[in-house]
């Protein structure tokens, strides 16, 4: 079978492109503590991949006496400052794959629930042309797991979403990507993706190049989205 190149590769940011989840968790803890509030470990994990305004509403329900917009602004300012101070780590293989996709002429988009200015701060650290466009959480009406962000990225790139491959690290993100019609590939980081809707899970982006992405897309494109549990049951 000849490998088919996806029309575009769509990337989540936090936890997929960069290892920023610890920065968000620290910012959330500090803000909650200021109001004598806290989240359970389960609630903290549920926020991975969740939109900032959904996160803010949960924090408000736990006693943070600020508006959702104020919470989002404060969290973003703290994370942006720490990133600017050099506290930003790239996920293994992410920059190398981006460079190879650019060399191969494969369009890319960053599809994130972080606000656009924060995403731009990250993109500015990459070589020019690494991403064709950004879709930020403050640019859509519905946050992930709604598919709007991915559908918006494909529309703005001028490509069919069904011809796109999306990389995600969270259950919420994979729900968004798979619901959009993209080929959804999960790279586990902080949360278990066994029951996330995905065409496939891969352990890392390290060692993956543009040719490998095309081979992955070609292999997965005709398949039905399933969870890892469902895939295991089929082979039991």
Q: Tell me the β-bridge partners of 11.
A: 110, 167
Averaged confidence pLDDT in the chain: 91
What does the domain layout of the chain look like in residue ranges?
A: 8-19+89-234, 21-84
DSSP annotation of 4: -
Give pTM, 2 decimals.
Answer: 0.88
Residue pair 142/45 in contact by the 8 Å Cβ criterion: no
- What pLDDT was estimated at residue 2? 66
Ordered DSSP codes for 27-96: HHHHHHHHTT----HHHHHHTTT--HHHHHHHHHHTT--S-HHHHHHHHHHHHHHHHHTT---BPTTHHH
In order of 92, 122, 172, 190, 233, the CA distances from 131 in angstroms are 18, 11, 22, 25, 38
Q: Tell me the β-bridge partners of 164.
A: 8
Indicate the SS3 state at residue 231. helix
The CATH architecture assigned to 8-19+89-234 reads: 3-Layer(aba) Sandwich (3.40)
Indicate the SS3 state at residue 200. strand
- Enter the tokens of residue 109: 């988009």
Q: Work out the pLDDT band at 236, boundaries 50, 70, 90.
A: very low
Q: Work out the pLDDT band at 51, boundaries 50, 70, 90.
A: confident
CA 168, CA 179: separation in Å to the nearest integer?
13
Asked if residue 169 has pLDDT above 60, the reply is: yes
């Amino acid at each position: 079978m000849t490998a088919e190149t996806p029309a575009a590769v769509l990337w989540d940011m936090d936890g997929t492109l960069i290892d920023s989840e610890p920065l968000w968790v620290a910012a959330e803890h500090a803000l909650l503590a200021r109001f004598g509030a806290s989240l359970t470990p389960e609630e903290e994990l549920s926020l991975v991949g969740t939109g900032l305004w959904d996160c803010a509403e949960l924090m408000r329900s736990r006693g943070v006496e600020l508006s959702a917009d104020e919470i989002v602004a404060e969290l973003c300012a703290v994370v942006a400052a720490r990133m600017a101070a050099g506290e930003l780590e790239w996920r293994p293989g992410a920059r190398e794959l981006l460079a190879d996709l650019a060399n191969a002429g494969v369009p890319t988009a960053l599809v994130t629930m972080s606000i656009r200015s924060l995403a731009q701060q990250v993109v500015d650290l990459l070589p020019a042309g690494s991403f064709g466009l950004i879709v930020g959480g403050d640019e859509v009406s519905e946050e992930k797991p709604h598919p709007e962000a991915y559908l918006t990225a494909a529309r703005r790139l001028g490509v069919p979403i069904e011809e796109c491959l999306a990389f995600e690290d969270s259950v919420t993100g994979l729900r968004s990507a798979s619901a959009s019609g993209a080929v959804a590939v999960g790279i586990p980081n902080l949360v278990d993706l066994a029951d996330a809707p995905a065409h496939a899970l891969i352990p890392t982006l390290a060692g993956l190049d543009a040719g490998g992405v095309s081979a992955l897309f070609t292999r997965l494109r005709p398949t039905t989205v399933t969870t890892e549990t469902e895939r295991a049951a089929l082979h039991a």
